[in-house]
Amino acid sequence: MPQNNHNNTKAMLSKKVEEAINAQINAEIWSAYLYLSMSAYCHSIGQPGMANWFQVQFHEEQDHAKILFNYVNSRGGRVILKAIDAVPTEWGNILEVFENTLAHEQKVTALINNLYDIATQEKDFASQSKLQWFIDEQVEEEESAQTIIDNLRMIKDNGYGLYMLDKELGARTYKQASPLASSED
Ligand code: FEO
């Protein structure tokens, strides 16, 4: 029984994988929104470099959503966009922001692992291959948040240290995610 009315010979996504990837697109957009909110908070406490770091993060999360969006379409699936939940807007201090970032990325890692698991159960090898990039990306995401947390804990209330870290994070630049670099998106 065909999954939908598309009349092509492409190996289509199963409904289960399609729904799980759609949910992940929503989670990636929510992540983008969360980091934009964190960027606003950093501006509000006079940390423009950290605000920049979160802006880059905001762009990267949109890339993650786009990779999945393109992938669903390339497999003859249907992207369905749902509402984006509200995000937090206030944190107690800058350390809390990065601790929240790490905790969030750990949650995303669990979501990606679950998605991979579904693709495996469905014997969907192409989706497993596509998700491999996300699995590797999550290692980097968690590591970079952890490094900044370590730095902030070391600095504590040292104003000069905070100034230097803000400068360093201000130098971060956005680079399009490699799976998108070869496409027109
Ligand atoms: Fe899209 Fe930060 O994981």
In a domain, residue 4? The reply is no
Give the distance (Å) from ligand 1 centre to CA of residue 156: 27
In a domain, residue 104? The reply is yes
Cβ burial 120-153 (10 Å sphere, 16+ → b, else e): eebebeebbebbeebeebbeebbebbbebbebbe
Domain that includes residue 156, residue range: 10-180
pLDDT value at residue 7: 45
CATH of the domain at 31: 1.20.1260.10
Give the distance (Å) from ligand 1 centre to CA of residue 132: 13
Is pLDDT above 60 for 185? no
Determine if ligand 1 sits within 6 Å of the CB of residue 141.
yes
- CB hemisphere CA count around 84 (13 angstroms): 13
In a domain, residue 84? The reply is yes
Q: How many domains does the chain have?
A: 1
Give the distance (Å) from ligand 1 centre to CA of residue 13: 23
In a domain, residue 3? The reply is no
Is pLDDT above 80 for 183? no
As a whole number of angstroms, the distance between CA 36 and CA 119 comes to 31
As a whole number of angstroms, the distance between CA 128 and CA 67 comes to 14
In a domain, residue 111? The reply is yes
Determine if ligand 1 sits within 6 Å of the CB of residue 31.
yes
As a whole number of angstroms, the distance between CA 51 and CA 45 comes to 10
In a domain, residue 85? The reply is yes
In a domain, residue 152? The reply is yes
In a domain, residue 2? The reply is no
Q: Which atom of ligand 1 is nearest to the CA of 65?
A: 1
Structure tokens at 14: 């199963």
Determine if ligand 1 sits within 6 Å of the CB of residue 75.
no
Give the distance (Å) from ligand 1 centre to CA of residue 8: 32
As a whole number of angstroms, the distance between CA 159 and CA 161 comes to 5
Is pLDDT above 70 for 90? yes
Structure tokens at 41: 């908070």
Determine if ligand 1 sits within 6 Å of the CB of residue 99.
no
pLDDT value at residue 157: 85
Q: Report the nearest-CA residue for atom 1 of ligand 1.
A: 61
* Residue pLDDT, tens place only, 111-158: 999 999 999 999 999 999 999 999 999 999 999 999 999 999 999 989
